[in-house]
């Protein structure tokens, strides 16, 4: 970047690939702050994330914080339903769209309330996969036109609850995941004297690809094979209950990266549907499950953190492939159900963390490399390497330097070289590495070894959050999540860093980031300033990440802020609700501790020291109060300096 060509927010949009993963919801304002466009329109309302940060700080809320943008949630539900409805109309398709939101993607009550509220405008319902989820959808899906779909393995109680739902007027469909469930359904239905409506989940032979491809194929955990589906039909016919079977379902995995796999699944599914109709099953609903992926890494490719299609492409394929196959076979068009979860929820929430410091494992020290006759051979060798290093020989020099460093360590253990000599070798080794990284900065092709060196040697920005709580997929399956500084986006980021969280776990780090040419091993960031907080946002955490987080190191749930757009307000937003995250006593109680008891133990010991005259009474009271205050406080780092 030269003087004539200063860094602009345009450069930041590109560096952090914001338009490619942001779906139009995110942008940068004139002051270089990251903003939310709830209407996907930079000319419409703009919510400045820094303003929201300032407002919650005034309330005394501590970081990390989840920001939940309810307008984005509503907008995604609207987009899914309207695109389906428009495509159905355009294709002259005879069925309707009646989708369901699978609540496992994010079960938070406020999320469900928002989705069912906007869902009232459409035939949009809920899906459950376990008993607690079933209890939830029965209470919260009150849209009389919409479906309540029940997946997952079921016991008697599950089926009784489902039929309770039918009795109070919910349009409940029980999806048979394994053949034996039908016997339980029949027996409970007879006992309760309620007619169930059932669906059948098929195991497709098409593999979906991506990280969840095990959900399909012959050995999948859920669903009936083709012979089993035929058994089910025969069984229902024998019992004169074939009219119960109204839905055909498949779900081949989440985050399907490649549209070709989706087309294959739809084709196989549609063929099964037409055949089942021919066999007399009165199926009215064709349920394509979930699987619509998110462009997490911005590549728009079939990499596992991305997709090579858009939601519009997906919907077009569902409607047209189904229509074509039905028409070819003169089969009536069914209603279309999708259980799209990730694509609904991912964009609406993010985690804001404050960077509280940085570490560099290899500080750049100056070492004299002038040859000296008294030097041991190993020192002579590494000094020579350091002097000879240039753009052409860096790979050879790097290899030799690695050998010398290893030799130095062995020599040290054997007592052949002393601590000072070891220090010279190590310092020169890291000097050489750092210089190689600088040399290869602008090179297009850099050997893998050197590339990973760059990530190892980069600064580590220490972020106040737990990867295991807030971005479990980044840890478990190397999912890339967009990470962007919240401020200074009109300033050139002059550092490259990796991120470390505050868990005592060496896995608590992020060293895969999105970049304009695919994945990168470091994140471009700005220098930290003494008197100014630096905030990073982890985006697209609304699907699964929000709710799968675990208690590693007992950090627990985050403070949460619910933000709504208000065009009338000068800031374009208002905070509707603040939900406090876990306190230390909350997480301790989950682990069976009694925080009152713990406070008592500390108090007894303090009192003892007071009696012994080792602590002054006034000081003792302060210490007990301080322990009590900490146990009711937030689990993460406090930003008070
Ligand atoms: C998880 C799941 C979904 C949601 O899938 P997404 O990929 O998040 O859209 C839908 N249906 C079933 C049966 C599921 O298990």
Query: What percentage of the chain reaches a pLDDT higher than 70?
Result: 98
pLDDT score, position 363: 66
Other Cβ atoms closer than 10 A to 377: 7
Say if CB 246 and CB 208 are below 8 A apart.
no
pLDDT tens string 221-271 = 789 999 999 999 999 999 999 999 999 999 989 999 999 999 999 999 999
pLDDT tens string 586-628 = 999 999 999 999 999 999 999 999 999 999 999 999 999 999 9
Q: What are phi and psi of 266, to 5 degrees?
A: -60, -40
CA-to-CA distance for 497 and 488, rounded, in angstroms?
16
The DSSP secondary structure of 94-117, one letter per residue, reads SS-B--EEEGGG---HHHHHHHHH
Q: Which of 99, 105, 540 to mutate to test the pocket of ligand 1 (most atoms within 8 A of CB)?
A: 105
Q: Which of 106, 250, 290 to mutate to test the pocket of ligand 1 (most atoms within 8 A of CB)?
A: 290
pLDDT score, position 214: 66
Say if CB 348 and CB 542 are below 8 A apart.
yes
Tokens coding 143: 């849209």
What is the CB < 6 Å shell around ligand 1?
Answer: 102, 104-105, 129, 151, 251, 254, 289-292, 339-342
pLDDT score, position 3: 54
pLDDT score, position 631: 96
* Choice among 276-290, 419-433, 542-556 with the minimum mean pLDDT: 542-556
Q: Which of 102, 107, 304 to mutate to test the pocket of ligand 1 (most atoms within 8 A of CB)?
A: 102
CA-to-CA distance for 609 and 598, rounded, in angstroms?
17
- The helix/strand/coil state of 359 is strand
CA-to-CA distance for 209 and 305, rounded, in angstroms?
12
Say if CB 427 and CB 365 are below 8 A apart.
yes
Determine whether 614 is exposed, middle or buried from the number of CB atoms within 10 Å of its CB (0-12, 13-18, 19+): exposed
- 1: pLDDT confidence band, cut at 50, 70 and 90? very low
Q: What is the DSSP letter of 179?
A: T
Domain ranges of the chain: 93-340, 377-452, 594-631
Strands 518-520 and 513-515 come out as: antiparallel
pLDDT score, position 499: 95
341 CA distance to ligand 1 centroid (A)? Answer: 6
Name the residue at shortest CA distance from atom 5 of ligand 1. Answer: 290
Say if CB 142 and CB 116 are below 8 A apart.
yes
18 CA distance to ligand 1 centroid (A)? Answer: 26
68 CA distance to ligand 1 centroid (A)? Answer: 21
237 CA distance to ligand 1 centroid (A)? Answer: 30
Assess whether pLDDT exceeds 80 at residue 516: no
What is the separation of C-alpha 590 from the centre of its chain, rounded to a whole number of angstroms? 24
pLDDT score, position 401: 95
**For residue 64, is the peptide bond before it cis, meaning its omega torsion is within 30 degrees of 0?**
yes
**93-340: which CATH number, 3.20.20.10, 3.40.50.10490, 1.10.10.10, 3.20.20.140?**
3.20.20.10
CA quadruple 86, 91, 92, 95: dihedral, nearest 10: -70
Name the residue at shortest CA distance from atom 2 of ligand 1. Answer: 290
- 340: pLDDT confidence band, cut at 50, 70 and 90? very high
CA-to-CA distance for 295 and 20, rounded, in angstroms?
7
| Average confidence score pLDDT of the chain | 93
pLDDT score, position 219: 66
197 CA distance to ligand 1 centroid (A)? Answer: 21
- Long-range CB pairs of 575-583, under 8 A, 24+ apart, other chains included: 575/52, 575/55, 575/56, 576/70, 577/110, 578/56, 578/59, 578/61, 580/634, 581/556, 581/557, 581/634, 581/635, 581/636, 582/555, 582/556, 582/557, 582/634, 582/635, 583/631, 583/632, 583/633, 583/634, 583/635
Buried residues in 549-580 as b, exposed as e (16+ CB within 10 A)? bebbbbbbbbbbbbbbbbeeeeebbebeeeee
Assess whether pLDDT exceeds 70 at residue 2: no
pLDDT score, position 624: 97
The most confident of 214-218, 360-364, 410-414, by mean pLDDT? 410-414
Question: Tell me, which fold does domain 377-452 have in CATH?
Answer: Methane Monooxygenase Hydroxylase; Chain G, domain 1 (1.20.58)
Name the residue at shortest CA distance from atom 3 of ligand 1. Answer: 290
Q: What are phi and psi of 402, to 5 degrees?
A: -65, -45
CA-to-CA distance for 283 and 275, rounded, in angstroms?
11
* Choice among 202-216, 314-328, 340-354 with the minimum mean pLDDT: 202-216
Minimum-distance ligand 1 atom for the alpha carbon of 104: 1
Minimum-distance ligand 1 atom for the alpha carbon of 339: 10
Query: What percentage of the chain reaches a pLDDT higher than 90?
Result: 83
């Amino acid at each position: 970047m030269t003087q004539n060509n200063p860094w602009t927010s345009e450069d930041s949009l590109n560096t952090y690939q914001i338009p490619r993963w942001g779906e139009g919801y995110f942008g940068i304002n004139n002051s270089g702050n990251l903003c939310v466009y709830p209407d996907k329109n930079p000319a419409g309302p703009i919510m400045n994330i820094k303003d929201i940060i300032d407002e919650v700080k005034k309330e005394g809320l501590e970081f990390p914080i989840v920001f939940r943008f309810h307008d984005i949630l509503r907008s995604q539900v609207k987009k899914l339903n309207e695109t389906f409805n428009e495509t159905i109309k355009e294709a002259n398709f005879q069925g309707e769209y009646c989708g369901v939101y699978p609540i496992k993607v994010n079960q938070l009550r406020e999320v469900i309330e928002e989705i069912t509220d906007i869902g009232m405008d459409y035939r949009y319902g809920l899906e459950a996969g376990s008993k607690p989820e079933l209890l939830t959808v029965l209470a919260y899906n009150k849209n009389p036109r919409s479906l309540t779909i029940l997946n997952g393995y079921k016991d008697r109680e599950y089926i009784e609850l489902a039929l309770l739902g039918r009795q109070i007027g919910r349009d409940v469909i029980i999806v048979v995941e394994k053949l034996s469930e039908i016997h339980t359904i029949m027996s409970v239905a007879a006992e309760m004297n309620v007619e169930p409506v059932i669906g059948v989940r098929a195991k497709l032979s098409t593999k979906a690809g991506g990280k969840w491809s095990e959900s399909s194929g012959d050995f999948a955990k859920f669903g009936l094979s083709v012979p089993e589906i035929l058994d089910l039909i025969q069984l229902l016919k024998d019992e004169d209950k074939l009219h119960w079977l109204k839905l055909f379902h498949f779900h081949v995995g989440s985050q399907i990266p490649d549209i070709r796999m989706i087309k294959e699944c739809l084709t196989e599914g549609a063929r099964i549907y037409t055949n089942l109709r021919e066999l007399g099953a009165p199926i009215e609903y064709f349920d394509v499950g979930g699987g619509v992926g998110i462009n997490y890494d911005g590549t728009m490719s079939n990499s596992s953190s991305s997709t090579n299609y858009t939601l519009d492409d997906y919907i077009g394929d569902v409607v047209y492939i189904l229509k074509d196959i039905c028409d070819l076979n003169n089969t009536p068009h069914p209603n279309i159900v999708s259980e799209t979860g990730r694509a609904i929820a991912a964009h609406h929430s993010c985690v804001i963390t404050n960077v509280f410091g940085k570490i560099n494992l290899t500080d750049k020290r100056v070492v004299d490399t002038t040859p000296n006759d008294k030097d041991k051979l190993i020192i002579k060798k590494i000094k020579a390497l350091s002097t000879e290093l240039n753009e052409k020989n860096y790979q050879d020099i790097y290899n030799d330097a690695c050998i010398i460093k290893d030799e130095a360590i062995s020599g040290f253990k054997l007592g052949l070289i002393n601590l000072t000599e070891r220090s010279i070798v190590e310092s020169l080794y890291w000097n050489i590495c750092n210089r190689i990284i600088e040399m290869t900065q602008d090179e297009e092709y850099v050997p893998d070894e050197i590339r990973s060196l760059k990530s190892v040697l980069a600064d580590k920005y220490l972020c106040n959050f737990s990867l295991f709580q807030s971005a479990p997929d980044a840890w478990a399956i190397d999912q890339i999540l967009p990470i962007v500084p919240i401020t200074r986006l009109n300033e050139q980021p002059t550092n490259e860093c990796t991120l470390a969280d505050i868990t005592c776990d060496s896995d608590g780090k992020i060293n895969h980031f999105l970049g304009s040419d695919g994945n990168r091993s470091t994140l471009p960031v700005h220098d930290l300033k003494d008197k100014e907080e630096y905030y990073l946002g982890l985006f697209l955490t609304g699907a699964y990440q929000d709710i799968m987080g675990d208690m590693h190191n007992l950090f627990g749930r985050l403070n949460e802020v619910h933000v709504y757009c208000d065009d009338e307000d000068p800031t374009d937003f208002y905070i509707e609700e603040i939900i406090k995250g876990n306190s230390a006593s909350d997480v301790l109680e989950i682990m069976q501790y009694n925080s009152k008891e713990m406070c008592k133990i500390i108090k007894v010991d303090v009192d003892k020291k007071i009696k012994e005259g080792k602590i002054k009474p006034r000081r003792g009271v302060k210490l007990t109060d301080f322990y009590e205050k900490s146990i009711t406080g937030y689990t993460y780092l406090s930003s008070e300096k």
